[in-house]
Amino acid sequence: MDRLLGLLATLCLGTMAVAQSALPRLGQYDVLHYDFAISLFDGTDQIKGKAGLKMAVLQEADTLTLDLYAIDQTGKGMGVKKVTTGTGDLFFRQSARRLHIWGSEAFQPGSTDLSIEYEGVPADGLIIGENKYGNRTFFGDNWPNRAHHWLPCNDHPSDKATVSFRVQAPDGYQVVGTGALKEERSLGDGRRETHWEAKVPIPTKVAVIGAAAFAIAHQGEAAGVPVSAWVFPENRKEGYADYAPAAACLSFFSNRIGPFPYEKLANVQSKTRYGGMENASNIFYFENSVTGLQDHVDLIAHEVAHQWFGNSVSEGNWHHIWLSEGFATYGANLFLEEANGRAHLEERLISDRQRVIAFANRYSAPVIDTTITDWNKLLNPNAYQKGGWVLHMLRRKVGEQEFWKGLQAYYATYRDGNALTIDFQRVMEEACGCSLSSFFQQWLYLPGVPELKVEWAYRSNGEVVLKVAQQQKEGRYEFPLDVELRSADGQSYRFTAEVSGEDREYLLKPGFLPERMALDPDTWLLFKAQIVGP
Ligand SMILES: [Zn+2]
């Protein structure tokens, strides 16, 4: 029998307010649909654009403000030529990153259509340049809010809209885009127009096109969704093979989470600045992702998982990015667990845990870190590996069935919408019929990980005294800590200490002389520990 011997300390967790970043304009209007006509050229990086926006104005406004990067001192940026609405021309003014639009009368609540003609050389957002084979390419690379370098829009993940791209480019380019292919036609002057349309609302961060000379393979369907590979012609064979695992990833998440949210899945070799960018229904991978070795399956699984989490269920604001990156990180781990077994999952979790701890040593902040205002700095091990670990521990906390049931309910509830951490917590609480307040509080709003001092000693009467103390600077955690005692001749004894606010001692009766002790032998806990004992 194991007994609680004493209470050494009692500490409790305070409730922290969740700071939310919000833009006033998010309450002023909602963009329902974008219709972008974009012309691309050889010989100049200048693009010409015409954007049609269908908006719901939510409250009377003298001025509507959109995001658009104006021409800067380097000469790059977008210059607006004309803004019109159904009843005629509108006035406009550009500031550094905004387009302000007004008319002779205020905009009234209801539906408003805007048409914006503009042109310029993108300073960012649409990456124009040669690929590694010296061929000219164009790739949208919008994350986090870089879409407004080439598209007038409300560049925030909480304003989702359906999107149409009509792209005119010289013959010789194939154009991939978000949504379904509606039309391809020759314009008769050495140019072609390609029309893609996403009928499912998506955030601007993942609404893109890519134009290049591609080799394209239609690789059949997975869970009823067409899957294709778009690679540079020089990488044709290897690229098709390297991106093929995307189909198995799509099937896995469809089966486990819910139907794939989009019209198709294209896997695209690109010039994204990231390793992979989860653009909705067309994932862009870095150009050296093609090796012929299928050695980026984890990257593919991560980006495919994002189609459900990040793209379809999007974080309501950037500070909740773990709902995107943590889910994609753990999603890839879940796929690899299914494909390769539990040992592979544990190997990855151990590596993820090391990254979380190393990061916490350099930067002390919780997963939901409202001090960050440069969104690219949110791409850190807290959002990815710690976010993934939170889901892993939640899986144990609520149980296997409830975990999957909760993920399915979360997707079903917030599909094509937005969620904050509290929304996810509520859905999981519903799934498990339990309170998860302290779980979410400690793992998402405290910095670092629990730091344990675990002392153990063997007594001559056969008992083992185990003492567990928490030593981290901030807060106290509650979690189950699995302990395994092993003898020299291979016997083992398992015990789970329910660690809480108090430092505690436990008496264990393994029935043999233990030679060593292992903490968390099944890799369920994000922690670090100093072990003192035999
Ligand atoms: Zn990601």
Three-state SS string across 429-444, please? HHHHCCCCHHHHHHHH
Percent of the chain with pLDDT over 70: 96
Out of 356-360, 440-444, 459-463, least confident range: 459-463
CA 388 / ligand 1 centre spacing (Å): 11
Q: Examine the pLDDT at 499 and tell me if it is beyond 70.
A: yes
> Residue 27's pLDDT is what?
86
Annotate 359-427 with three-state secondary structure.
HHHHCCCCCCCCCCCCHHHHCCCHHHHHHHHHHHHHHHHHCHHHHHHHHHHHHHHHCCEEECHHHHHHH
d(CA 147, ligand 1 centre) in Å: 17
Q: Is the pLDDT of residue 18 over 70?
A: no
Name which of 230, 326, 274, 36 is nearest 141 in CA terms.
Answer: 274
Examine residue 158 and state whether it is found in any structural domain, yes or no.
yes
Percent of the chain, pLDDT > 90? 93
As given in the structure block, the two tokens for residue 71 are 């021409």
Pairing of strands 88-89, 77-85: antiparallel
If you measure from the C-alpha of residue 304 to the centroid of ligand 1, how many angstroms do you get, rounded to a whole number? 9
Q: Is position 275 within any domain?
A: no
Residue 475's CATH number: 2.60.40.1840
Q: Tell me the average pLDDT of the chain.
A: 94
Whether pLDDT at 234 is above 60: yes
CA of 165 to the centre of ligand 1 (A): 24
pLDDT tens per residue across span 69-99 = 999 999 999 999 999 998 899 999 999 999 9
Domain membership of residue 131 (yes or no) is yes
- Examine residue 144 and say whether the peptide bond preceding it is cis (omega within 30 degrees of 0): yes
Last residue of a domain, one of 183, 213, 243: 213
Q: How many angstroms separate the CA atoms of 12 and 451, rounded?
A: 16
Residue 17's pLDDT band, with cuts at 50, 70 and 90, is very low
Q: Cα of 309 to ligand 1 centre, how many Å? A: 9
- Distance of CA 300 from the midpoint of ligand 1 (Å): 10
Tell me what pLDDT residue 12 has. 28
Residue 493 has a pLDDT of 97
- In terms of Cβ atoms closer than 10 Å to its own Cβ (0-12, 13-18, 19+), residue 521 is middle
For residue 222, is pLDDT > 70?
A: yes
Mean of pLDDT values over 269-281: 97
- Distance (Å) from CA 243 to ligand 1 centroid: 17
Residue finishing a domain among 213, 231, 253: 213
User: Can you tell me the distance from the alpha carbon of 147 to that of 140, in angstroms, rounded to the nearest whole number?
Assistant: 8
Mean pLDDT of 357-379: 95
Phi and psi angles of residue 107, each rounded to the nearest 5 degrees, phi first: -75, 130
Q: How sure is the predictor about 189, in pLDDT bands with cuts at 50, 70 and 90?
A: very high
Residue 367 Cα, ligand 1 centroid: separation in angstroms? Answer: 15
CA 274 to ligand 1 centroid distance, Å: 9
Domains identified in the chain, total number: 2
If pLDDT is split at 50, 70 and 90, which confidence band does 489 have?
Answer: very high
Tell how far the Cα of 281 is from the centroid of ligand 1, in angstroms: 14
324 C-alpha to center of ligand 1: Å? 7
Q: Would you place residue 22 in the very low, low, confident or very high pLDDT band (cuts 50, 70, 90)?
A: low
Cα 45 to middle of ligand 1, angstroms: 29
Q: Which of 213, 229, 245 is the last residue of a domain?
A: 213
Distance 204 CA to ligand 1 centre (A): 16
Q: Residue 337 class from Cβ within 10 Å (0-12 exposed, 13-18 middle, 19+ buried)?
A: middle
- Spacing, Cα 441 to ligand 1 middle (Å): 23
Confidence of residue 332 (pLDDT cuts 50, 70, 90): very high
What angle, rounded to 10 degrees, do the helices at 421-432 and 437-445 form?
Answer: 140
How confident is the model at residue 75, as a pLDDT?
98
What order of strands is seen across the sheet that includes strand 479-487? Answer: 492-499, 479-487, 514-519
Q: Tell me how far the alpha carbon of residue 231 lies from the centroid of ligand 1, in angstroms.
A: 21
Distance (Å, rounded) from C-alpha 270 to C-alpha 42?
18
Measured CA distances, 419 to 311, 313, 475 (Å): 11, 7, 27
CA of 275 relative to ligand 1 center, distance in Å: 9
Tell me how far the alpha carbon of residue 302 lies from the centroid of ligand 1, in angstroms. 6
How far away, in angstroms, is 498 Cα from ligand 1 center? 33
Q: How far apart are CA 214 and CA 450, in angstroms?
A: 49
Within a domain: residue 146?
Answer: yes
Give 384 Cα–ligand 1 centroid separation in angstroms: 8
Ligand 1 geometric centre to CA of 503 (Å): 38
Q: Please say if the pLDDT value at position 7 is more than 60.
A: no
Average pLDDT rounded to a whole number, residues 329-344: 98
User: Rounded CA gap, 209 and 139, in Å?
Assistant: 6
180 burial via Cβ count (<10 Å: 0-12, 13-18, 19+):
middle
Residue 73: CATH number of its domain:
2.60.40.1730
Å from CA of 88 to ligand 1 middle:
43
Question: Which pLDDT value is given to residue 87?
Answer: 86
Q: Measured in angstroms, how far is the CA atom of residue 167 from the centroid of ligand 1? A: 27
Question: Does residue 299 form part of some domain?
Answer: no
Ligand 1 center to 379 CA (angstroms): 9
Cα of 277 vs centre of ligand 1, distance in Å, is: 7
For residues 387-400, average pLDDT: 98
Pairing status of strand 126-130 against strand 136-140: antiparallel
Residue pair 314/157 in contact (Cβ under 8 Å)? The answer is yes
Quote the ligand 1 centre to 522 CA distance (angstroms): 26
CA distance 505 to 497: 9
**pLDDT higher than threshold 60 for residue 1:** no
Asked if the structure places residue 516 within a domain, the reply is: yes
Instruction: Say how many Å lie between the CA of residue 189 and the centre of ligand 1.
Output: 40
pLDDT for residue 11? 28
Is residue 17 a part of any domain in this protein? no
ipTM of the complex, rounded to two decimals: 0.99
Task: Quote the ligand 1 centre to 306 CA distance (angstroms).
Answer: 7
Residue type at position 78: M
Does residue 13 surpass a pLDDT of 90? no
Instruction: For residue 314, give the nearest of 202, 444, 153 by alpha carbon.
Output: 202
* pLDDT tens digits along 93-147: 999 999 999 999 999 999 999 999 999 999 999 999 999 999 999 999 999 999 9
| Cα of 497 from ligand 1 centre, angstroms | 34
Ligand 1 center to 158 CA (angstroms) = 18
pLDDT at 19 over 80: no
Cα(297) to ligand 1 centroid in Å equals 14
For residues 169-187, average pLDDT: 98
How large is the greatest C-alpha to C-alpha distance in the chain, in angstroms?
A: 93
The label of the residue with tokens 């380097």 reads: 74
The answer to whether residue 6 scores a pLDDT higher than 80 is no
C-alpha dist (Å) from residue 34 to 30, 192, 202, 455: 11, 21, 10, 62
Domain that holds residue 459: 451-532
Strand partners, 452: 470, 529
Ligand 1 centre distance from Cα of residue 233 (Å) = 27
Judge whether 53 lies within some domain: yes
pLDDT of 9 over the 50 cut:
no
CA distance 111 to 409: 32
